[in-house]
A and B are shown apart, each in its own frame.
Chain A
Amino acid sequence: AQSVTQPDIHITVSEGASLELRCNYSYGATPYLFWYVQSPGQGLQLLLKYFSGDTLVQGIKGFEAEFKRSQSSFNLRKPSVHWSDAAEYFCAVGENTDKLIFGTGTRLQVFP
């Protein structure tokens, strides 16, 4: 069955620290992969996406993600977290833009 697993429900980091959010997927073919961010009471904003090519993808707000086919993973990273990064982060997969399968999300808390 197609699924997305985000094993960390809640992560707390200090401002300025590095960040890695984990995402593993189960999908029949090589899927399109996405990371979205959701601030409280807001909709989702696309951080980055992977369709093909270079497995290290750069996104907005200083985020990047690396696609590792052998591990079925697409982990999100940021070298130095800012307080404004506190939000919920969702990993998603799909054959294209429609009918995305989302993980349950990782809530990021940032301490000053």
Chain B
Amino acid sequence: NAGVMQNPRHLVRRRGQEARLRCSPMKGHSHVYWYRQLPEEGLKFMVYLQKENIIDESGMPKERFSAEFPKEGPSILRIQQVVRGDSAAYFCASSYGTGTGAEAFFGQGTRLTVV
């Protein structure tokens, strides 16, 4: 059973370009979470999705950022018109549920560099 798979591992974008980050959850997991880690900081929650639904996007910037988790395929975090401040590590996690005993498994992250 493969873990949470994120790709690409490293992504370089010029200012103004679009960044697409992919996350394939663990088999059997229908809950996906995205977190952002800025340099020298802890992880900050961005968004929580279930299949085809956004459950909580309270941590998402209001502009340029969007996320989806379609019925088929990976979850996508999309950043339009990237700026230098978007440079960070973006981590995806998945779980089979959210109740007691459920554990969020994290991927290795995508490190986005905006030049």
Contacts and interface: CB of A to CB of B under 8 A. Distances in A.
Q: Do A and B come from one complex?
A: yes
Given A43-B106, A43-B107, A98-B31, A51 B42 contact: no
Contacts of A44: 43, 91, 93, 106
A57 B7 CA distance: 34
Interface stretch (A11-19, A65-73, A79-87, A100-108): A100-108
A97 B43 contact: no
A43 B108 contact: yes
Interface in B91-115: 91, 93, 95, 97-109
User: Is chain A's interface secondary structure helix, strand, loop, or mixed overall?
Assistant: loop
Interface residues of B, number: 32
Contacts of B40: 104
Interface residues of A, number: 24
25 contacts: A4-B42, A32-B100, A41-B108, A42-B109, A43-B106, A43-B108, A44-B106, A51-B101, A96-B99, A96-B100, A97-B31, A97-B98, A97-B103, A97-B104, A98-B56, A98-B95, A98-B104, A99-B33, A99-B56, A100-B43, A100-B104, A101-B45, A102-B42, A103-B42, A105-B41
